[in-house]
């Protein structure tokens, strides 16, 4: 009897889970392999995954070696894990992410085979030690990785596995590239450093770990370092390398004010214009660091909060902890709004040349000294904009009303900035002159004025509001 399996590639690639390693003698027509003891996630506290980008790269190498083996060309390949919930979740997430990043599958197709799993796959939690109240599904990681791939901030072809595994070590600098624009790292520590001036104390030597960071940053176009925690080193070491150093302190485990985020995004954009890299750290380079980098990625690349947290944890495990997850989720629309607002402002000068040139505002009717034009029958009607079907006709120049026998005129309604070009076209030109000539013959809807009295408008204000209507818009398990 064949074990239950989830099919990814028909007759070629399957996912499964076993209490014990499957027997080759019982299933000689299948090729089994697992990475449970080879690719191990090192937990911070209560977290258990997912496996990071280095693990994903190694998994791809292992799988490709099996696929390219001539002896395996006719055998279905079964990637399996142990049956505990955590192992199953890590294996499923690893395979789905591989299909998106390496095989270029769209995310919905990579997730579809997992929907048939029973029981469902366990959700992933943060690296904190308290009860998890914000969890991420495999779908979040798949879509986060896909979003990064579409934004071209991750490319498995240019990924340097040796560098990743070397510099992620604590004694080698404990830093990771989150994307081509950001490096996230733990705070360097300078032994015996104090912020208090002490003329009798000699300057402490830079540790080997700190020196790894300085050397790498100076050779990889890092232009700015953000320190989000208290001072544990002398910032002049970065400044000597011509790296600008910015302090943006907020308490460990807390979330930044939105003004701080705006400043961070603005400075990062300045570095981007100079083609410089930004390095960010807090104490561990996880929580506070993830807040600001995540906010920028939402702002710049339209990630959702879940997607950006998931993506950052693939690039640097443990990023964004506890209430910081909720903070990103709550404020993600602010970051997106800032992005759209900025984009609109940049496009306005470009599109202005295609707009109708502005015309001078119509002054008081007393200033129109030209002789009023007399319209032939039906001529004025042809000049007016066509009315919207089912709605009252809108007067392009507003309603001119004679108020009393002293021959004053009410305010001339001027459309707001949101008036359509069709409505605005009626404010000026011959139509304005026509109204000036014909207003003497109009009757006020509020009070009758004797036709024998010559009505001379004295003052016209150009402030009113034009209203507008609102339209309501309205897989199965397989046995081999």
Kindly give, in sequence order, each residue whose CB lies less than 8 Å from that of residue 239, ignoring residues fewer than 6 positions away.
Answer: 245
Percent of residues, the chain, with pLDDT higher than 70: 68
Task: Specify if 324 maps to a domain.
Answer: yes
Cis peptide before 252 (omega within 30 of 0): no
Mean pLDDT (the chain) is: 80
Instruction: Based on the fold, state whether residues 181 and 328 are members of the same structural domain.
Output: yes
Which of 33-37, 212-216, 341-345 has the lowest average pLDDT? Answer: 341-345
Radius of gyration of the chain measured on its C-alpha atoms: 34
Cβ–Cβ under 8 Å, residues 279 and 219: no
Task: Specify if 476 maps to a domain.
Answer: no
Instruction: Based on the fold, state whether residues 402 and 340 are members of the same structural domain.
Output: no
Domains: count for the chain: 3
Q: What is the pLDDT of residue 195?
A: 64
Instruction: Based on the fold, state whether residues 166 and 302 are members of the same structural domain.
Output: yes
Instruction: Based on the fold, state whether residues 275 and 367 are members of the same structural domain.
Output: no
Q: What is the pLDDT of residue 417?
A: 45
Instruction: Based on the fold, state whether residues 275 and 373 are members of the same structural domain.
Output: no
| Cα(393)–Cα(102) distance, integer angstroms | 60
Q: What is the pLDDT of residue 409?
A: 39
Cβ–Cβ under 8 Å, residues 57 and 159: yes
Instruction: Based on the fold, state whether residues 400 and 307 are members of the same structural domain.
Output: no
Task: Specify if 198 maps to a domain.
Answer: no
Instruction: Based on the fold, state whether residues 315 and 380 are members of the same structural domain.
Output: no
| Cα(432)–Cα(429) distance, integer angstroms | 6
Q: What is the pLDDT of residue 196?
A: 55
Kindly give, in sequence order, each residue whose CB lies less than 8 Å from that of residue 180, ignoring residues fewer than 6 positions away.
Answer: 153, 277
| Cα(377)–Cα(158) distance, integer angstroms | 76
Instruction: Based on the fold, state whether residues 364 and 263 are members of the same structural domain.
Output: no
Q: What is the pLDDT of residue 342?
A: 77
Percent of residues, the chain, with pLDDT higher than 90: 63
For the stretch 106-127, pLDDT in tens is 999 999 999 988 899 999 999 9
Task: Specify if 89 maps to a domain.
Answer: yes
Residues designated as active site: 282
Coil, strand, or helix at residue 193? coil
Kindly give, in sequence order, each residue whose CB lies less than 8 Å from that of residue 272, ignoring residues fewer than 6 positions away.
Answer: 181
Task: Specify if 314 maps to a domain.
Answer: yes
Average pLDDT rounded to a whole number, residues 342-368: 51
For 131, the domain range is: 4-148
**DSSP letter for each residue of 340-378:** HHHHHHHHHHHHGGGSPPP-PPP--GGG--SPPPPPPTT
Neighbours of 326 (CB within 10 A): 13
Average pLDDT rounded to a whole number, residues 338-361: 58
Which of 67-76, 236-245, 294-303, 449-458 has the lowest average pLDDT? Answer: 449-458
Task: Specify if 176 maps to a domain.
Answer: yes
Instruction: Based on the fold, state whether residues 308 and 407 are members of the same structural domain.
Output: no
Instruction: Based on the fold, state whether residues 14 and 139 are members of the same structural domain.
Output: yes
């Amino acid at each position: 009897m064949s074990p239950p399996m989830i099919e990814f590639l028909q007759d070629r690639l399957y996912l499964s889970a076993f209490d014990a390693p499957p027997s080759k003698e019982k299933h000689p027509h299948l090729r089994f392999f697992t990475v449970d003891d080879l690719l191990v996630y090192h937990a911070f506290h209560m977290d258990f995954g997912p496996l990071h980008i280095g693990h994903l790269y190694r998994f791809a190498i292992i799988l490709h070696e099996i696929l390219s083996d001539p002896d395996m060309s006719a055998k279905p390949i079964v990637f399996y894990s142990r049956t505990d919930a955590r192992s199953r979740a890590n294996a499923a997430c690893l395979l789905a992410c591989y299909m998106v990043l390496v095989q270029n599958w769209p995310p919905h197709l990579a997730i579809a085979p997992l929907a048939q799993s029973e029981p469902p796959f366990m959700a992933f939690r943060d690296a904190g030690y308290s009860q998890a109240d914000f969890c991420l599904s495999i779908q979040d990681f798949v879509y986060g990785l896909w979003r990064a791939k579409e934004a071209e901030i991750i490319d498995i072809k240019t990924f340097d596995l040796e560098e990743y595994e070397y510099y992620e070590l604590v004694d080698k600098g404990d830093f990771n590239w989150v994307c081509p624009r950001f490096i996230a790292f733990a705070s360097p520590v300078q032994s015996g450093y104090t912020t208090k001036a002490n003329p009798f104390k000699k300057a402490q030597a830079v540790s080997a770990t700190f020196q790894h960071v300085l050397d790498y940053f100076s050779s990889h176009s890092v232009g700015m370092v953000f320190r989000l925690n208290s001072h544990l080193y002398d910032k002049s070491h970065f400044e000597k390398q011509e790296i600008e150093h910015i302090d943006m302190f907020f308490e460990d485990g807390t979330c930044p004010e939105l003004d701080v985020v705006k400043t961070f995004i603005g400075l990062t954009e300045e570095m981007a214009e100079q083609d410089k890299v930004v390095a960010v750290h807090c104490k561990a380079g996880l929580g506070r660091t993830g807040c600001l980098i995540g906010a920028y990625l939402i702002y710049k690349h339209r990630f959702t909060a879940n997607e950006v947290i998931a993506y950052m944890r693939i690039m640097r495990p443990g990023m964004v902890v506890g209430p910081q997850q909720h903070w990103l989720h709550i404020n993600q629309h602010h970051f997106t709004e800032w992005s759209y607002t900025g984009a609109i402002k940049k496009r306005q000068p470009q599109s202005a040349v295609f707009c109708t040139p502005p015309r001078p505002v119509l002054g008081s009717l007393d200033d129109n000294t030209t002789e009023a034009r007399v319209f032939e029958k039906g001529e004025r009607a042809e000049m007016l904009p066509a009315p919207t079907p089912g709605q009252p006709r809108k007067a392009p120049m507003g309603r001119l009303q004679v108020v009393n026998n002293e021959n004053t005129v009410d305010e001339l309604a001027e459309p707001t900035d949101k008036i359509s070009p069709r409505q605005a076209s009626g404010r000026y030109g011959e139509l304005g002159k026509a109204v000036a000539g014909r207003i003497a013959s109009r009757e006020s809807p509020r009070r009758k004025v004797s036709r024998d009295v010559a009505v001379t408008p004295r003052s016209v204000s150009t402030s009113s509001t034009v209203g507008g209507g609102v339209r309501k818009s309205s897989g199965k398990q397989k046995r081999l």
